[in-house]
Structure 1
Amino acid sequence: MFTTRHDPTLEDNECLVTDEEINDTYNLTIRIVSVFVLLIVSFLGAAISVVSTRVKCLHINPIIINTGKFFGSGIVLATGFIHMLPGGMKFLNDPCLPDSWNVYSAYGGLFAMIAALIMQFIEFVAHQRYQSLTASKTHPTIEESERQGQEEIKVSVIDVVTSNVEIPDANHHCHGITFQDDAQKHKISTYLLEFGIALHSVLIGLTLGSTTDSFVALFIALSFHQFFEAIALGAQIARLEHVSWKSASFMVIFFALTTPIGIAIGIGIHTKTYNPKSVASLLVNGILDSISAGILIYVALVNLITAEMGVGAHAFHKLRKRLKFLYFVALYAGVAAMSVVGRWA
């Protein structure tokens, strides 16, 4: 029997959980099946966008892909606000925790905010690092300038002999740098997105593998959620420039494995020493859920919605009104769908 009562004055048995109560509604077979189902669902969702973009014979209309992407962005945002943050706050406000945790009711929001700020700082450092590398290339050292000057003299001599050689347009070079900057920003945001989603997927897999309540409803909700979240991630991966098939495939497979790994860990924890009301379980679940919420909310608002539909998204603003309307509806539909699913999961 597990006992985690911290307040002996509690008249109920909230913090007393027996092995019988934990194992009473736990079906190991269906959880093992869920590992393979979510593996396939996650892989298919992420692969659809990547394959349809890179294989001409399997090409899917970009409007369909983009609609799924914006729907998936709404899924990611709602997952942070509806599924992860309230759960984290609930764990961290549980009466079975010591009094020191119950005197401050905003720990869930605090950890989510810290996670969002850390994500912003990581992204800032990554961009700064890229900018410094770019600056070192565009502003050479004295020796490099001398070498460059000697090369320019040689080129000018050759130009006198071969007057038909075309001189590259300086404006074209500047545009190239701009495109490279945009591509690098997209690459960084995609890696951050995969990190946030991967962490979240492990956590929800852990929850699914260890939970004893409402497994079927949660399993259906997560299958739906993982598919469209995978489409959003796959669309981002598909847009990465100069990324090989091997790298893109690795990112898709890595994402597909995260939830099954979480489920396997959850099953292992449950079959050994899992006690949902222990201080360790409540703190680990609460802190990780809150951190995951902060990451997903930041990634959804900054790297997905604002980057794709915000003021700086010039390509989006050039679209026809009907397409913009469709994509906004898809975004709100994703948010609404996961909000409704949150009623049962």
Structure 2
Amino acid sequence: MSNSSSDSCQVTDDGSDSYNLTLRIISVFVLLIVSFAGASITIFSSYIKFFRIHPIIINAGKYFGAGVILGTGFIHTLPGAMSALTDECLPDSWKEYESYAGLFAMIAVLLMQLIEVIAHHQLHRTPKKEQKIVVENIDSTPYVIPVEDCQQQGHSHGLSLLDEDRNRRITTYLLEFGIAIHSVLIGVTLGTEDGSTFVALFIALCFHQFFEAIALGAQIALLNNKSILPGIMMVIFYSFTTPIGIAIGIGVHITTYNPKSVAALLSTGILDAASTGILIYVALVDLIAAEMGPGAHRFFELKTRVKILYFIALYLGAAFMAVIGRWA
């Protein structure tokens, strides 16, 4: 490593006071409100008549959000991971292999697939003899049909809905996990940002978090929970991720944070790469393919103009994140 490179990897203090702590503290509360508002829109619409929104609008928002999540993975987290894991301040052993970002993203994809398979396996382990459906005779006398008999007699519709709900629940939990990691990381970035780019980055992240929150909220709203409380708890959890990241960023900056240190570069790069794998997997497999792919029979039963609307919403979501990526 040359002397010039070594110097650029050290913490410097030129006596300037460009770090405005007040703005960082304000950003904590603003992003908290923005994230909560975006994720709550569809939740409240599903449970409160006053906030009721037409299903087509909600679904369009869901597909727009899928595009947002896909764009977040490709435009926001992957380039950040590649930049961090190929930085000149890393040891030569890391710079000799330029594909670490792709490697960690691929590992995250494979782990997500494995976790999803295990989760589905555990959910479907209920013994068939315990799964019964109560129906009524013509004379209103109730009787029980075992699941295997029910399936043979063509009464498996209820079970299909149950499986669909279980699958959607797993998808939603994995989606929130991936988004949470990403939100904490961008919060840390905002909290440690020192310079004139803070305001532009802050505004871009407000839009970013709002539309990402809409995507998550749309998925949570589809869980069909009996009460609004579980959905609100998931929204609150998500809403605090970016503010927590900002608070961490403020803390490490006060303690003379060096974003060019080996530890900072590796932790940021690896987590960004893992987040990339999670977001891209969930967007492509669980959101786009599952909702719009060959097996999505409900989607293909829709009117052509509605399907076109949903595709446009998907593309607009991805395009929006590509534009936001210019500043964030």
| TM-score, reference length from structure 2 | 0.91
CA contact (8 A) 2:220 2:231 kept: yes
What's 1:110 paired with? 103
1:165 and 2:173 aligned:
no
- Cα distance in 1 for residues equivalent to 2:161 and 2:305: 27
Match of 2:187 in 1: 205
What is the distance in 2 between the residues matched to 1:243 and 1:96?
52
Measured in 1, the distance between the counterparts of 2:14 and 2:57 equals 49
Amino acid at match of 2:141: V
Q: CA deviation at 1:164?
A: 6.1
SS of residue paired to 1:132: coil
Does residue 58 (structure 1) correspond to residue 41 (structure 2)? The answer is: no
TM-score for the superposition, normalised by structure 1: 0.87
Are positions 1:137 and 2:147 aligned together?
no
Task: Write the mapping of 1:156-195 to structure 2, written as runs, cut at 5 A.
Answer: 165=141, 167=143, 170=150, 171=153, 173-195=155-177
**From 201, 219, 233, the counterpart of 1:236:** 219
After superposition, residues 264-303 of structure 1 pair within 5 angstroms as: 264-303=247-286
Q: Which residue of 2 aligns with 1:309?
A: 292
Distance 1:24 1:135, change over 3 A: farther
* C-alpha displacement of 1:314: 1.3
Distance change >3 Å, CA 269–CA 243, structure 1 → 2: farther
Match of 1:323 in 2: 306
User: What is the letter of the counterpart of residue 40 of structure 1?
Assistant: I
* RMSD (Å) for aligned C-alpha atoms: 2.1
Following superposition, the deviation at residue 315 of structure 1 comes to: 1.2
Offset at residue 13 of structure 1 (A): 3.2
Match of 1:15 in 2: 9
Instruction: Work out whether 1:222 is the aligned partner of 2:205.
Output: yes
Query: Does the Cα contact within 8 Å between 2:42 and 2:221 map onto a contact in 1?
Result: yes
1:67: which partner in 2? 60
Alpha-carbon distance between aligned partners in 2 of 1:123 and 1:137, rounded to the nearest angstrom: 24
Corresponding letter in the other structure for 1:13:
D
Residue from 296, 311, 317 that aligns with 1:334? 317
Q: Secondary structure at the residue paired with 1:133?
A: coil
SS at match of 2:38: helix
The Cα of 1:14 is off from its aligned counterpart by 2.0
Query: Following the alignment from structure 1 to structure 2, what is the Cα–Cα distance between the partners of residues 56 and 250?
Result: 20
Could you tell me which runs of 5 or more consecutive residues in structure 1 were left unpaired when the two chains were aligned: 1-6, 140-158
Give the AA of the match of 2:174: L
In 2, Cα distance between equivalents of 1:237 and 1:134:
28
Q: Percent identity?
A: 59
Instruction: Classify 1:166/1:280 alpha carbon distance in 2 versus 1 (closer, same or farther; 3 Å).
Output: closer
Amino acid at match of 2:170: I
Q: Which residue of 2 aligns with 1:196?
A: 178
The alpha-carbon distance between structure 1 residues 163 and 36, as it changes in their structure 2 partners (threshold 3 A), is closer
Instruction: State the distance in 2 between where 1:25 and 1:328 align.
Output: 44
Could you tell me how far apart the structure 2 residues matched to 1:164 and 1:192 are? 43
Unaligned runs of 5+ in 2: none
Which position in structure 2 is the counterpart of 1:252? Answer: 235
**Which range is displaced more, 281-290 or 212-221?**
212-221
